Amino acid sequence: MNDVGVIEPIPGQPGLFRDPSNPDKIINIRDFREGDKYDSVAIPTGSITAGTTFTFFQNLQGKQNGAQGALDTNLKTPSKLSAGESMILDRIGLYICSSTGISFPAPQDFKTIVDNAYYRLEINGLLQDEGPAIRFPTGYGLYGQTQESGQGIVSIGVPATASAARLIRKQLLNQNHELSGTLTFPQRQWLTQAVSAGGGGFSAAAITPKVNVQAQTTPAENCSVVVRNMLHGLIRSAVSK
C-alpha cells in the first residue's frame, strides 16, 4: 500500500514539482489537465438515524452510463483511479444536487445535510481532512433567484471556485491509492440534555435530521437528495505522453 505523496514546487521551474520522499523524481504538471474525480450518494427521504454513514467512491454499480456521460461518478474502479491515471489533489468539496429528475429538494433539505453531517476523506486509510460538511464547498452551484413555490437556490458557500479553499499541501495520487469519503450524521447526545446542564433541551425527535424531498409525481413519491463528493485538481490520464 502506497503512502500519500506530498509534492512541492521547484523554485524557478514553473510547472515542475518534486516529491520530497523521492527527490530524484520530477513531476511535470504540463502533462496534466484540470478537472474533478467524483462520486455520488443518495440520502433518502425520511428521518436519518444517528450514526448513519454514506460512503463515496466504493459502490459504482449502475452509476456509469458510457457514452451518455458520467453524471454521477467518473471513477471506473471502486475506490481508485484508473490504471495509469494520476492526480494532484488540490481541493475537496461536496455538492448537493438541486434537482434529480422531477425531484427538487427544498432549502430545508440542503440545510439538514449541510448543518447535521460530518465529512471525512481518507486516502490509503490516512486521514486527509475532516469536519462539518459546511467546510467543504466545491465552488460549483447555481446563482440567482427563483419564483418556484417552496424552492430557493442554495449552495455550500459562494458558487465560485475562487471561494473554495485549497489544500495547503497538494497530494499526488495514482491507481495504488484507495479513496474513501464518508458523510456521517452523528449522535449529538449533549443537545438532548437539559439547558440547565449545559445541553440544548431538545427531544430525541427534535434533534433527529429529516429529509423531506418528494418527486413531483401523482401521487408524490418519496425520493432522495443526491450529494456528490468532488476531488478537484490536475489529472493525467493513462493516454498522456
Task: Report if residue 86 sits inside a domain.
Answer: yes
Task: Report if residue 16 sits inside a domain.
Answer: yes
Kindly report, residue by residue over 4-37, the tens digit of the pLDDT: 567 777 888 777 788 777 777 777 767 788 999 9
Task: Report if residue 77 sits inside a domain.
Answer: yes
- Binned at pLDDT 50, 70 and 90, residue 239 comes out as low
Task: Report if residue 241 sits inside a domain.
Answer: no
- Binned at pLDDT 50, 70 and 90, residue 210 comes out as very high
Task: Report if residue 14 sits inside a domain.
Answer: yes
User: Could you tell me which residues come within 8 angstroms of residue 89 by beta carbon, excluding any fewer than 6 positions away?
Assistant: 128, 167, 170, 171, 172, 173, 231, 232, 233
Which of 40-44, 65-69, 156-160, 161-165: highest mean pLDDT? 40-44
Report the pLDDT value the prediction gives residue 21, as an integer from 0 to 100.
76
pLDDT at 1 exceeding the cut of 50? no
Report the pLDDT value the prediction gives residue 5, as an integer from 0 to 100.
60
Report the pLDDT value the prediction gives residue 153, as an integer from 0 to 100.
66
- Computed over every residue of the chain, the mean pLDDT equals 88
Range(s) of the domain holding residue 99: 5-236
Domain count, the chain: 1
Mean pLDDT, rounded, for 213-217: 91
Task: State whether residue 195 is helix, strand or coil.
Answer: helix
Whether the CB-CB separation of 8 and 20 falls below 8 Å is answered with yes
Kindly report, residue by residue over 226-238, the tens digit of the pLDDT: 999 999 999 988 6
More confident residue, 168 or 36: 36
Task: Report if residue 75 sits inside a domain.
Answer: yes
Task: Report if residue 184 sits inside a domain.
Answer: yes
Which DSSP string corresponds to 105-155?
A: --HHHHHHHHHH-EEEEEETTEEEEEEEGGG---S----S---STT-----
Give percent of the chain with pLDDT exceeding 70: 90
Report the pLDDT value the prediction gives residue 240, as an integer from 0 to 100.
45
Task: Report if residue 81 sits inside a domain.
Answer: yes
Kindly report, residue by residue over 22-77, the tens digit of the pLDDT: 777 777 767 788 999 999 999 999 999 999 999 999 999 999 888 888 999 999 99
Give CA–CA dist 241/238, Å, rounded: 8
